[in-house]
Amino acid sequence: MTRARSQAFLPHAAVLAGVTGAALVIAFRADPNEPGHYPGCPFLALTGFYCPGCGMTRLVYALAHGHVGTAFGLNPLLFVLLPVFGYLYARWTVRTAQGLPMRSALFKPAVAYSFVGLLIVYWIVRNLPFAHVLAP
């Protein structure tokens, strides 16, 4: 592999190292279910409402310890999106190995706007009284 070709994988390695490192810290450093180990959600602290990411740290902890059902209950949207993120990472890596640019229907403006809309709807619905199952 040429030097330029191997340098093309530096962003991939950085993303993988960052995600793996964060997951390992969350999984083995301290239980996020016990107060005082990790900072809380600033949006929740300021407003009393859950943001789309609330429950994310505890979700990673639950998955790392094999508690899939608990992980789903903490942040269902992120739980469902994890395979999508994994697919996008794998596709990015394969396309780079092939020397091709990253192109996907998921990066079209309509999809991006739909995703932002989904996040906003999820954000609102998880704070409504009837949707308490979406709360972490």
Query: Given this model, what pLDDT does residue 11 score?
Result: 87
Domain segments of the chain: what residues?
3-33+51-134
| pLDDT for the residue 68 | 95
State the pLDDT at residue 99: 83
Mean pLDDT of the chain: 88
pLDDT at position 125 is: 94
Q: Would you say residue 1 has pLDDT above 70?
A: no
CB neighbourhood size of 93 (10 A): 17
Question: Could you read off the pLDDT of 18-65 as tens digits, one per residue?
Answer: 999 999 999 998 888 888 777 888 999 899 999 999 999 999 999 999
Is residue 88 a contact partner of residue 12, using CB atoms and an 8 Å limit?
Answer: no
> What integer is the mean pLDDT of 87-95?
89
Question: What is the total residue count of the chain?
Answer: 136
Distance (Å, whole) CA 132 – CA 136: 9
Q: What is the CA radius of gyration of the chain?
A: 18
Distance, CA of 26 to CA of 34 (rounded, Å): 12
* Chain segment 115-127, per-residue pLDDT in tens: 999 999 999 999 9
At 40, list the tokens: 């809380």
Question: What single-letter amino acid sits at 105?
Answer: A
Residues 114 and 91: their CA atoms lie apart, in Å, by: 21
